[in-house]
Amino acid sequence: MSFNLVKTYNGGKARVGELVTPHGTVPTPVFLPVGSQATVKTLTPQEVSDIGYGMLLTNTYHLCLKPGIDVIEGFGGLHRFMGWDGAILTDSGGYQIFSLAGLRQISDEGVTFRSHIDGSKRFITPELAIDFQEALGADVIMVLDECPPIDADFNKVWRAMSRTHLWAERCQKAHRHDNQMLFAIIQGGVFLELRHQSAEYLTSLGFPGYAIGGLSLGEPKKVTWSVTEETITLLPEDKPRYLMGVGSPEDIVEAVAMGIDMFDSALPTRVARNGALYTRTGRINIDNGEYKKKEEPVDSDCGCYTCQNFSAAYLHHLFNCKELLALRLATIHNLTFISDLMGDIRKSVLNDTFGSFKEDFLKHYKPTDEEVRLEQKKKWLQARNADN
């Protein structure tokens, strides 16, 4: 396991690297599709690989509930269980401390979850989080952390950060496998003072990689970028930097410009299943009536299976009829879009043209309106909490 910095853009902070894992070398910057329950929804592992992905993310908390860590361990780990030959990063379950706040009790010792499936209780300590991830056989594993809500006050965020530091040290002591990279997670909410404290403390422990957590939770983007940019300056240049939960195209480009190497988000696949498809000019809603008779594909310049074989009118029809194929074709398109974007970013850094690439991309790509985005995020979190 290693991270090799290949090139930094001449005139900026964007960079290209290689994350070397037992299951292949992953070029960075890289986006990880989310497969929380050992599947990227609607697609086979081979389809995900064929699109161009060599690494994905799964979730320890969800796999602990179903099918159970012991079941997957009995198969020799996640790779064989899910039929995936590429690299895997497992989230520790720390995000669920935030997203399932109504179903958990937390202390310095660990966190007790009440299962959203059957109500049974699961107590997870930092040591158990590491044991679970080692049993899953992931290539990159994460410390257990406490992610506070974005509107939490200073004292609450400080307590969450302090607990994250305590847990990170315990995770590091419990980690035994040399063929797995253990990443620490910087917390501190929107408070730059706390971000400084968190980064300084965790980098002093010498982890092989660092994630920036606790962002993209509903805060304005200008806040996201100010916190991210400030935090990056405190992280080692020779280790991978992972911005958790960020996956919109314009945000990826902005974050790469700051020096981020890794991303994950369920956004591209989730919005695909709701009929929102990426193009170089922004996101479109295939349900709109303007696509009912459109003979051209969603994106004439896209080389994905969907755009090479089907019209926008056909996708409009599938979504209108609630056909399952609609979800698959839209997911293929969105993941291809993000994969192509990452490839174009890497090429531009290697060619020292990233500055013009970024300017051109952001000039033509129209992001979702900020107020609409924040409202959508709020509704999604409310619906998630209601379901649980």
Rounded Cα gap, residues 95 and 215, in angstroms: 11
Sorted by sequence, the CB contacts under 8 Å of residue 107 that are 6+ apart come out as: none
Q: For the residues 291-310, what does the mean pLDDT come to?
A: 97
pTM over the 0.85 mark: yes
- Residue 96 CB neighbours (<10 A): 23
CA angle 231, 232, 235 (to 5 degrees): 100
Residue matched to tokens 């990227």: 40
Range list of β-strands (E), the chain: 2-8, 15-21, 24-28, 30-33, 55-59, 87-91, 104-106, 111-114, 121-124, 140-142, 181-186, 209-212, 241-243, 262-265, 276-279, 282-285
Catalytic residue numbers? 91, 264
| Torsion over CA: 226, 228, 230, 233 (sign) | negative
| Secondary structure (DSSP) of 131-173 | HHHHHHT-SEEE-------TT--HHHHHHHHHHHHHHHHHHHH
**CA-to-CA separations, 276 to 91, 263, 315, in angstroms, rounded:** 26, 20, 11
Q: For the residues 152-172, what does the mean pLDDT come to?
A: 97
Task: Give residue 372's pLDDT.
Answer: 66
pLDDT at 374 over 80: no
- Residue 103 CB neighbours (<10 A): 16
Task: Give residue 388's pLDDT.
Answer: 42
pLDDT tens track for 1-29? 899 999 999 989 999 999 999 999 999 99
Residue 18, beta-bridge partner list: 4, 27
**CA-to-CA separations, 306 to 32, 47, 311, 335, in angstroms, rounded:** 21, 12, 8, 11
- Residue 313 CB neighbours (<10 A): 16
- Residue 106 CB neighbours (<10 A): 15
pLDDT tens track for 220-268? 999 999 999 999 999 999 999 999 999 999 999 999 999 999 999 999 9
For residue 286, name the pLDDT band (cuts at 50, 70, 90).
very high
**Long-range own/partner contacts, residues 359-362 (CB < 8 A, 24 or more apart):** 361/249, 361/250, 361/253, 361/280, 362/250, 362/253, 362/254
pLDDT at 59 over 90: yes
Task: Give residue 113's pLDDT.
Answer: 85
Report all structural domains of the chain as residue ranges with CATH numbers, in order of start. Answer: 2-272+370-387 (3.20.20.105)
